[in-house]
Structure 1
C-alpha cells in the first residue's frame, strides 16, 4: 500500500466512520489525542533507530507515517501539500 492509498482510506474513515475502526476512533478523540500518538511514535522511531534493528525501525516509521497522515486528514490537508513544500525547498537556492 502506498501513502496515497492509505491517506484515501483514512479520509474514508473520517467521512464514513465505522464503529470498529481504530482510525475513526482516533479521529473522534480529536487533535490532542492524534498529536499524543505522533509523539509516542516519534519516540519509538528514535528508540528503534538506536538499537532495535532495521525491521523494527521500518515498523515504527510506518506507525509514525500513519499517525501523521491521520493528523493531515483531520485538518483537511493532503500529502500532496507536503510534497509541494518539499519540492519548493528542493528548488530554493542555497546561499
Structure 2
C-alpha cells in the first residue's frame, strides 16, 4: 500500500535527516520547535483543504487532502506511532 511506503520513508528521513529532505527540515529542531512546525503545517493544510472543498475544486481538494495526510503522517512518525496502530484504530471503529 502506497501510504505504508510513504510512512516508512518519512520514518527513515526523520531518523537519518538527509540533506535537502523536507521531512528532515520539519523535524531537525528541538522537539518543541519541531512539533510546532509540524502542527502549523497540519493547520495550514487543513485550512487549504476546507477552502478547496468550499470552492468545489476537485483537483485542489485531492492535492490538499494529500498534503494534510502527509503532514499528519509526519506527526505520527515523529511521535513514534506506527502506521499499524492507526490502521488498528480504523478497524476498531469499523465495528
Q: Runs of 5+ in structure 1 lacking a partner?
A: none
Which residue matches 1:26?
26
Report the more deviating stretch, 59-68 or 24-33: 24-33
Report the more deviating stretch, 1-10 or 54-63: 1-10
Indicate whether 1:89 and 2:93 are aligned. yes
The 3-state SS of whatever aligns with 2:28 is helix
Query: TM-score, normalising length from structure 2?
Result: 0.90
Query: TM-score, normalising length from structure 1?
Result: 0.90
Q: Runs of 5+ in structure 2 lacking a partner?
A: none
The aligned length equals: 91
For residues 5-48 of structure 1, the C-alpha deviation after alignment (integer angstroms, 9 at most, x for no partner) is 11011011011111211110101141111011000000001001
Moved >6 Å (runs of 4+)? none
CA distance in 2, matches of 1:56, 1:88: 31
Larger Rg: 1
